[in-house]
A and B are shown apart, each in its own frame.
Chain A
């Protein structure tokens, strides 16, 4: 996927101005998700669950080499084929050779952010393979030629009317069809794709090292079908997705579902050990699991950022984020959006490419309150900002202003005199001419300095 993160500010502004309905749709949907999440957290001792989950993920990550080896051993024992991919190119080349050797023409896909990261669809289409996204939201955006705007709900930015118009054109549904009828026609269209496909592609929510179990959570049943109907199943799994033990599944399946949508559990969970065997009457003949690094070991080596690898992609931090709610995920310009995306993007595609994202946050900290695995999101965003400054990625004007401010703020006397000087300036008059003040005033009420500085008030004794 093409990275457009550097255009974040312009793109966010464009959406707010030209497509105000996106803000309405995204705000409504994320509020609903977050309300459901809050209710679902309220039914459990959420802090205990989250503390536990954070502990398990941190444990896995600090023992990742042995768990990866164990997962490979178990999967192989179960009859699955395990592949390892350093980079996007490697992952795609592995997929390409499977497509070739198995003679694949038609692929159905379950929702997977990693396959978005790798650009699986365009790779396959480039080889003349027919690819069909089967999650209803993914299907909608595939027909529209768009990227997902949310980790869990990819078509969150589209209204019922948008989808009515799209399906009328693509599937011949009535112009005023209700969502039930729209879904039914998509179901009918996709049913043919499931039955005709010779390969199903999925991601993986978790991979249990102890049993070699690939766990997938969903609500529609399309992932179960994609991993059951075609004769070949290929799963792309980030190396951070491991869980140590079968016993850990229960907590993670439930907590991820509660965090994502507020459900006690997703309607369908697939727990896949390997290909069809023994007494099975159906299921894929071959299961390939492709373990993907693509920058994750670099993230693991980072003394601060490694904690972001605990992420289970529930989307809770997107749903509660006051910044994400204004635009949805598109302006973030890469596959992972919202608060967690603003941490992952600089780590996986480089700080220069992802630059404005760590700044696209008010650092209000709502995200850390809902994260099921305790990722210190605001701390990590601040750390990226600090690194951006240290590596000279921020603007020269800002750096000069900040070093001037530091010089002043470090000297009490200078600061005091400076402040009283500033107080005497005709800021009201300058507001339309000074460039920074003009920008500030564009979106905010003008600030009038108080007659007495805070330090004087403090000395006089504030009640």
Chain B
């Protein structure tokens, strides 16, 4: 008998005669005062609360010029595989372990937790190794609850998703909060407000 069969056998024996308990149904995120603001404002609030930064980009033009200004202080960047050409900084490529800046494209975001949803196909190390991380997120993909945000990606799961909700932090040294312990110490959510189905594919 394999370990698998032995364990399952023991589980069945343990449960024999135990009344089965029904699943209580979907998680409804019960709150006394549900947030009334729109998902984008609520996301920015949550993300900033956790120490992240956010910028709203109203047009492609605005996005391009913001990126040019922001990238000017960096020497190189590691850019995610699914970041559209128009949103790639004009910087030399560097491997993630050496790049001072990482740029990723999110698959969505959840307002209630201030979480960006990142996809392994965009490149995991880019999301983790550079000390500064810029994440583009289309405004229409920012939804109110984490449940909705996870539902949005459920139809097609990659090998790994990462939920990033602010900069890396730790209080393991005497309960003093420090940022950028292993992951990025600075993270910016760049919200593409002009994004629509049509601009999705360039």
Please indicate the chain A residues that have their CB under 8 angstroms from the CB of B201 in the complex.
none
User: Closest B-chain residue to A194, C-beta based?
Assistant: B182
Q: Is B160 an interface residue (CB 8 A)?
A: yes
Please indicate the chain B residues that have their CB under 8 angstroms from the CB of A265 in the complex.
113-115, 146, 163, 165
- B103-115 interface code vs A (CB 8 A; 1 in, 0 out): 0000000001111
Assess the A267–B167 pair: CB atoms within 8 A: yes
Please indicate the chain A residues that have their CB under 8 angstroms from the CB of B20 in the complex.
59, 62-63
Please indicate the chain B residues that have their CB under 8 angstroms from the CB of A159 in the complex.
174
Of A277-285, A412-420, A444-452, the stretch lying at the interface with chain B is A277-285
Contact of B120 among A28, A251, A280 (CB under 8 A): A280
Assess the B176–A263 pair: CB atoms within 8 A: no
- A209-231 interface code vs B (CB 8 A; 1 in, 0 out): 00101000001111011011100
Q: Is B157 an interface residue (CB 8 A)?
A: yes
- A238-252 interface code vs B (CB 8 A; 1 in, 0 out): 010000101111110
Q: Is A123 an interface residue (CB 8 A)?
A: no
Please indicate the chain B residues that have their CB under 8 angstroms from the CB of A220 in the complex.
168-170, 181-183
Q: What's the nearest-Cβ distance from chain B to residue A153, in Å?
A: 7
Measured in the bound complex, the distance between the Cα atoms of B170 and A222 in whole Å is 11
Of B21-29, B61-69, B188-196, the stretch lying at the interface with chain A is B21-29
Which positions 413-451 of chain A face chain B at CB distance < 8 Å? none
- B123-156 interface code vs A (CB 8 A; 1 in, 0 out): 1110111000000000000000111001100100
Of A134-142, A329-337, A341-349, A388-396, the stretch lying at the interface with chain B is A134-142
Assess the A250–B145 pair: CB atoms within 8 A: yes
Assess the B50–A267 pair: CB atoms within 8 A: yes
Q: Is B94 an interface residue (CB 8 A)?
A: no
Assess the B163–A283 pair: CB atoms within 8 A: no
Assess the A224–B123 pair: CB atoms within 8 A: no
Contact of A56 among B4, B24, B46 (CB under 8 A): B24
Assess the B170–A136 pair: CB atoms within 8 A: yes
Q: Is A254 an interface residue (CB 8 A)?
A: yes
Assess the A225–B183 pair: CB atoms within 8 A: yes
Q: Is A25 an interface residue (CB 8 A)?
A: yes
Q: Is B199 an interface residue (CB 8 A)?
A: no
Q: Is A163 an interface residue (CB 8 A)?
A: yes
Given contacts A160-B174, A179-B176, contact A222 B182 (CB under 8 A): yes
Measured in the bound complex, the distance between the Cα atoms of B53 and A408 in whole Å is 70
Measured in the bound complex, the distance between the Cα atoms of B13 and A64 in whole Å is 11
Measured in the bound complex, the distance between the Cα atoms of B192 and A219 in whole Å is 26
- A344-376 interface code vs B (CB 8 A; 1 in, 0 out): 000000000000000000000000000000000
Assess the A271–B173 pair: CB atoms within 8 A: no
Assess the B172–A267 pair: CB atoms within 8 A: no
Measured in the bound complex, the distance between the Cα atoms of B11 and A301 in whole Å is 8
Q: What's the nearest-Cβ distance from chain A to residue B94, in Å?
A: 14
Q: Is B19 an interface residue (CB 8 A)?
A: yes
Measured in the bound complex, the distance between the Cα atoms of B184 and A37 in whole Å is 25
Assess the A301–B159 pair: CB atoms within 8 A: no
Q: Is A410 an interface residue (CB 8 A)?
A: no
Please indicate the chain A residues that have their CB under 8 angstroms from the CB of B128 in the complex.
221, 224-225, 228
- A39-77 interface code vs B (CB 8 A; 1 in, 0 out): 000011100110110011011011111001100100000
Q: Is B85 an interface residue (CB 8 A)?
A: no
Contact of A281 among B12, B32, B114, B123 (CB under 8 A): B123
Q: What's the nearest-Cβ distance from chain B to residue A207, in Å?
A: 14
Given contacts A62-B18, A228-B160, A277-B159, contact A68 B168 (CB under 8 A): no
Interface residues of B (CB under 8 A from A): 2-4, 6-8, 10-15, 18-24, 26-32, 46, 49-50, 81, 97, 112-115, 120-121, 123-125, 127-129, 145-147, 150-151, 154, 157-176, 178, 180-184
Interface residues of A (CB under 8 A from B): 25, 28-29, 32, 43-45, 48-49, 51-52, 55-56, 58-59, 61-65, 68-69, 72, 78-79, 83-86, 90, 134-137, 140, 153-156, 158-161, 163, 179-180, 182-184, 186-187, 190-191, 194-195, 211, 213, 219-222, 224-225, 227-229, 239, 244, 246-251, 253-254, 263-283, 291, 293, 297-298, 300-301, 306
- Starting from the known contacts A224-B183, A228-B125, A280-B121, 7 additional A-B residue pairs (CB-CB under 8 Å) come to A62-B15, A72-B4, A84-B7, A160-B176, A179-B176, A211-B154, A269-B115
